Amino acid sequence: MTSTPASGSSTDLERKLSERVSVQESTQRNSEYERYLILHKQFEGPEKKLLQKLDWRLLPVLSFLYLMCSLDKANAGNAKLFNFLEDVGMTNTQFNLAIMYLFFTYGLCEPISNIALRRLGPKLWFPFIVCGWGIITTLTCQVKSYGGFVAIRLFMGMTEAGLYPGSYFILSMWYTPAELATRMAIFYGANTAAGAFGGVIAYGVGNLDGVHGWRAWRWLFLIEGTITVAAGLACFFFLPQFPHQYEGKKSKWLTKRQLEYAQLRVKYANGPDAPTYEFRWSDVIAAAKDRKTWFMCMMFWWGGSVPTYSLSYTLPTMVKNLGYSAVKAQAMTTPPYVFATVVCVFVGWASDRYQKRFVAIMTSYSLGLVGIIILWITVHHVHLSGVSYFAIFLAAAGYSAQAPIVGAWTSVNVPNPSKRASAIGILMLFGSVGGGSIGANIYIAEQAPVYPLGFGFSVGATAIGAMFPASIHWYLMRRENLRRSKLDTAEIQTTHSPAQLAEMGENSPLFRFTL
């Protein structure tokens, strides 16, 4: 008879303790938010100087790392023009398969790497993975068989996997949603710049053919791999931690007040209902169940990875087919990528300036699609090689410009850091495995120079696989915004505590999706 009251007392006690913890969290959250408002007012003018500090510390480091990542991933296409296949004893089919295998380990390790990054921080995780793929790139100069090249590509995929999604996540931890697209575009510009640098480096390395008895392709892998290892060691000193990891620590590049504001400005970018910074596996599961993750995955996969990877691996050969020598073809790949870099940064800036992610993405897809269609038509006519070369500019620019906007659109609509890191990892998993493996195999050497499968697949993937899902995604979020705008804000704040609203993230009735 005494057990019932005891049970009731225990339940009451648990309820009171839960309420007390909730009140304490709300009080702490409100105090933090008030502190943010004070700092925001103080930094109203100097905030630009803080952003400049962030830009100069983060963007050069991440962009250079991504430049090397893109070079090391795509340099096989350049090596192919320097008799790599003949020296190693590979067929074109074996080469395409080896290129494809990289994307299996690359994609599978992306979500895992982002979780490791979320827990360990960039200062530990990035030097480890960058030095790893740098060593593997260097060892590629010793490849002597098809099996050896396959093993190299598999290990390279594992080590390179964390750089791209990890950099997006790092930027989302330092910049507010309104600032992200421009920074992601500058970062992603390193990928398009890699096409330009890759052509220039390959052009220069072509002159080393036969030096010390080494073929040019061996020098290419050795030089790029050594530079990458050096970059990995350097980023341990130059790459900062996440803002919240500086709590209780000093920094030489930001003052204590700047660090506090840098953390709070991102945490409370969407208002007083800030997300938790605690890592939880439930957030990983939530990202996998979220419809938004899969819509963005389709866009990144079919409208980004397939045409981008297929172009990067085939462009030197495609330019050569226009009538240029192998060495000159390397140099001729540089101007389209320079143009693509400029367009990529401009589209990112415009996306932030006007906060129109959907318009920016569809414009990019359309530009890339027009370029591919013109190229598809003109490659059938030798006398139109100049028009074909111009079309390469459009295709490279359009497909490059969409990528940072897809990443920014994902980040701004998922406020919880752990869920955001997982969502980025998942969409890049399928984008890399599916897009990379397909993109590396649709431009078949035997179909050169007209490539009916490659061009046809790229057009279909862009229109049906990317533009259609993007339109549905935009429509559903717009419809939800309109529904929430009709709700009574006062009633919502009465029936839900700030902690509950924060826990709901983008599902909060007060949250508005960026379109």
Classified as helix, coil or strand, 355 is coil
pLDDT digits (tens, 9 = 90+) for 190-235: 776 766 676 677 777 878 887 888 888 899 899 989 999 999 999 8
Give dist(CA 217, CA 316) in Å, integer: 14
Classified as helix, coil or strand, 269 is coil
Task: Give 53-65 as a DSSP string.
Answer: HHHHHHHHHHHHH
Lowest mean pLDDT segment, chosen from 42-46, 121-125, 223-227, 359-363 = 42-46
Q: Note whether residue 192 is domain-resident.
A: yes
Q: Note whether residue 478 is domain-resident.
A: yes
Give dist(CA 367, CA 307) in Å, integer: 12
Give dist(CA 417, CA 257) in Å, integer: 22
Q: Note whether residue 142 is domain-resident.
A: yes
pLDDT average, residue stretch 22-34? 64
Q: Note whether residue 75 is domain-resident.
A: yes
Instruction: Report H helices in 161-290.
Output: 163-174, 177-205, 216-238, 256-267, 281-289
Q: Note whether residue 7 is domain-resident.
A: no
Q: How many CA atoms lie within 13 A of 422 on its CB side?
A: 19
Give dist(CA 104, CA 100) in Å, integer: 7
| Other C-beta atoms lying within 10 Å of the C-beta of residue 294 | 17
Mean per-residue pLDDT over the chain, rounded: 84
356: enclosing H helix or E strand: none
pLDDT of residue 199: 66
- Number of domains within the chain: 1
Provide the domain limits for residue 177: 55-249+283-507
More confident residue, 506 or 436: 506
pLDDT average, residue stretch 440-468? 87
What distances in angstroms separate CA 468 from CA 99, 362, 366, one per listed residue?
Answer: 29, 10, 12
pLDDT band of 469, cuts 50, 70, 90: very high
Q: Note whether residue 39 is domain-resident.
A: no
158 and 105 in contact (C-beta within 8 Å)? yes
Q: What is the CATH number of the domain that holds 415?
A: 1.20.1250.20
pLDDT average, residue stretch 60-72? 87
pLDDT band of 158, cuts 50, 70, 90: very high
Share of the chain above pLDDT 70, in %: 88
pLDDT average, residue stretch 261-286? 80
Q: Note whether residue 4 is domain-resident.
A: no
pLDDT of residue 367: 95
Give dist(CA 138, CA 159) in Å, integer: 13
| Other C-beta atoms lying within 10 Å of the C-beta of residue 187 | 28
pLDDT reading at 471 higher than 90: yes
pLDDT reading at 14 higher than 50: no
Question: What pTM was computed for the model?
Answer: 0.77
Q: Which DSSP category does 436 fall into?
A: I
Q: Note whether residue 150 is domain-resident.
A: yes
